[in-house]
Amino acid sequence: MRIGISVCSNYRVRDPREGARFMVQRAAAARAAGLDSLFVGDHHVTPGPYFQNVPILGRMLAEWGEGPAGALFLLPLWNPVLLAEQIGTLAAIMPGRFIMQCGLGGDEAQSAGLGVDFNWRVGMFEESLRIMRALWRGETVDAERYWAVRDARISPVPAEPVEVWIGAQATAAINRTARLGDGWLASPSLTFGQARDALNIYRQACAEHGGGHRTAAIRRDVCVAGTSQAARAAVAPEVGKGYRGFDENALTIGSVEEVVECFGQLADLGYSDVIVRNISQDQAIALETIARLGEVRKQLA
């Protein structure tokens, strides 16, 4: 079981430099804890500070080291040639492999803010992925359906193939993931039983689309402390407000031993990676959680 981290990109701060500093500190803490991978998310036209993934990841890579890293991209919201170039440059900065997490994006207002037709997002997703993969292979690309692309090529191309993990929850989306992706990223909102059932759907879909070993990762929102009581007290304000609308059973809150048990159960189901996100916005609590996740990782190794 590998443990990675998706560092929170939105912070309720008066000075945006403070939020950016928090992200850099968390990347350094993840490296010190020996975590296996580093990611940031993707969101746009936000009312509060949200640090955009390409520039902030470039800065965080200076703290990260040689492990795999990447970012989530909501593909219909990006010009695929521009995004292929951005990822080509990020992949050149880092010594490890680049993992592109990607999804459709389910926020109609976000699509409208970027001038994208929300109803086209499935077709745009597939076409974007086709164009980028061709560009990363060094090919010259033409396209007409969603983007008017003529004689497009990029440089630098990634030195090794970009790994594509697709976030999906509905059965149709999981089937599309098995057809198009190198890996699947399960939703953080899934309870244990839902995570088991969704993984079975993914395995069956992979078998139908050629089988083979593929990454099965799951997101988990977490808080780890010295005791279960301390962890629950640390995130009581967030959980009490109905954190992100999640079933509380989908959250991982507790001591190192409790989190080892929880992640171990996910490994027994067949998940290869857990990608964590801090529940608490408090920097001290977040950094303690990241440090203790290093202990969790050692016990699961």
Q: What is the pLDDT of residue 211?
A: 73
Q: Which CATH architecture has domain 2-217?
A: Alpha-Beta Barrel (3.20)
Backbone angles phi and psi of 175, in degrees to 5 = -60, -40
Q: What is the pLDDT of residue 210?
A: 84
How many CB atoms neighbour CB 140 within 10 A?
11
Which of the residues in the chain have pLDDT under 70?
213
pLDDT digits (tens, 9 = 90+) for 284-299: 999 999 999 999 999 9
Go through 260-287 and write b for each residue having 16 or more CB atoms within 10 A of its CB, e for each that does not: bebbeebeeeebbbbbbbbbbbbbebbb
CB neighbour list of residue 160: distance below 8 Å, 6 or more residues apart:
91, 97
Q: What is the pLDDT of residue 53?
A: 98
H helices of 121-170, in order, are: 121-136
Q: What is the pLDDT of residue 214?
A: 83
d(CA 29, CA 294): 10
Backbone angles phi and psi of 134, in degrees to 5 = -65, -40
The amino acid sitting at 61 is L
To the nearest 10 degrees (0 to 180), the angle between helices 16-32 and 283-300 is 20
Q: What is the pLDDT of residue 279?
A: 98
